[in-house]
C-alpha cells in the first residue's frame, strides 16, 4: 500500500525522488547524485588538505624572509647611505679647514724663516729671540697636530630611528594569552 507522503525531488536532477538527505547542506539527492555530491566533497577536502600542507611547508621554511625584515633592511641601507653622505661632508669640511690651517702655518713659518735669515745675516740675535722663535715653532707644531679651534660633535638623538611595535588586534586563531607581546622598549638606536 502506498503512503500519502510527498516525496522531495533530487536537488540535481528534479527527476528522481530524493531518497538521501545530506547532513551538511540538508538537501535531498537521488542515489546517483548523492554519490557525485560525496565525490565533490572529497575533492574539496583534498584541496583544503593541499592548502594546509602548502601553508605548513611555508611555516617551517627557514629561508623565507618576512616583509617586515625587508622593510628593516631597506631602512638600514637608507640610513647607512645617509650616514655615509654626512661623513663624506664632514671629511670635506675637515680637509678645507686643515688646508686653510696649513696655508696659515706656511705663512707663519715664512715670517719666522725671514726673521731667522735676517737675524743670522746681521748677527744680532740673543737668547731672547731664540726662545721666542722656539716657542713660536712649538705653538705652530701643536696647531698642526691638534688644532684647538675644531672638534667633532656627534648628535645624540633621544628618539629611536626605528622600532618594532605590536599593534593591538584581536587574535582569532589562538587562545587568549597564547602569545607574549613584544617588548615595548625594543628599538634600534643610531
Q: What is the DSSP-derived secondary structure letter of residue 48? A: H
Whether residues 50 and 99 fall in one domain: no
Beta-bridge mates of residue 29? 20
How many structural domains is the chain composed of? 2
Tell me, yes or no, whether 145 lies in a domain: yes
Tell me, yes or no, whether 46 lies in a domain: yes
Task: Please report the DSSP string for 84-143 in residue order.
Answer: HHHHHHHHHHHHHHHHHHHHHHHHHHHHHHHHHHHHHHHT---HHHHHHHHHHHHHHHHH
CB 9 within 8 A of CB 18: yes
pLDDT of residue 142: 86
Tell me which of 155 and 117 has the higher pLDDT: 117
- Cα angle 129, 132, 136 (rounded to 5 degrees) comes to 140
Tell me, yes or no, whether 68 lies in a domain: no
Torsion, Cα 29 30 35 38, to 10 degrees, reads 0
Whether residues 55 and 93 fall in one domain: no
Model's pTM, two decimal places? 0.50
Q: Provide the percentage of residues in the chain whose pLDDT is more than 90.
A: 37
Distance CA 12, CA 19 (A): 13
Whether residues 96 and 44 fall in one domain: no
Tell me, yes or no, whether 95 lies in a domain: yes
pLDDT in tens, 37-85: 999 999 999 999 999 999 888 888 777 677 888 888 898 999 899 889 9
pLDDT in tens, 73-111: 898 999 899 889 989 998 998 888 888 888 989 999 999
Tell me which of 188 and 163 has the higher pLDDT: 163
Residue 8's SS3 state is: coil
**Domain that residue 51 falls in:** 20-60
Q: In this structure, what C-alpha cell is assigned to residue 36?
A: 557525485
pLDDT band at 36 (very low <50, low <70, confident <90, very high): very high
pLDDT band at 176 (very low <50, low <70, confident <90, very high): very low
pLDDT of residue 184: 43
Tell me, yes or no, whether 65 lies in a domain: no
Tell me, yes or no, whether 119 lies in a domain: yes
pLDDT of residue 107: 93
Tell me, yes or no, whether 71 lies in a domain: no
Tell me, yes or no, whether 157 lies in a domain: no
Amino acid at each position: 500500500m502506498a503512503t500519502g507522503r510527498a516525496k522531495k525531488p533530487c536537488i540535481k536532477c528534479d527527476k528522481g525522488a530524493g531518497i538521501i538527505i545530506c547532513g551538511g547542506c540538508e538537501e535531498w539527492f537521488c542515489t546517483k547524485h548523492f554519490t557525485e555530491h560525496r565525490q565533490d566533497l572529497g575533492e574539496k577536502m583534498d584541496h583544503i588538505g593541499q592548502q594546509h600542507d602548502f601553508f605548513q611547508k611555508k611555516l617551517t621554511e627557514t629561508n623565507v624572509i618576512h616583509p617586515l625584515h625587508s622593510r628593516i633592511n631597506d631602512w638600514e641601507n637608507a640610513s647607512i647611505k645617509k650616514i655615509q653622505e654626512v661623513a663624506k661632508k664632514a671629511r670635506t669640511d675637515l680637509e678645507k679647514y686643515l688646508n686653510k690651517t696649513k696655508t696659515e702655518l706656511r705663512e707663519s713659518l715664512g715670517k719666522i724663516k725671514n726673521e731667522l735669515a735676517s737675524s743670522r745675516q746681521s748677527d744680532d740675535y740673543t737668547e731672547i729671540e731664540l726662545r721666542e722663535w722656539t716657542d713660536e715653532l712649538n705653538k705652530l707644531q701643536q696647531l698642526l697636530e691638534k688644532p684647538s679651534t675644531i672638534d667633532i660633535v656627534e648628535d645624540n638623538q633621544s628618539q629611536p630611528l626605528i622600532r618594532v611595535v605590536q599593534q593591538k588586534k584581536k587574535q582569532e586563531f589562538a587562545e587568549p594569552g597564547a602569545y607574549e607581546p613584544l617588548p615595548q622598549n625594543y628599538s634600534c638606536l643610531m
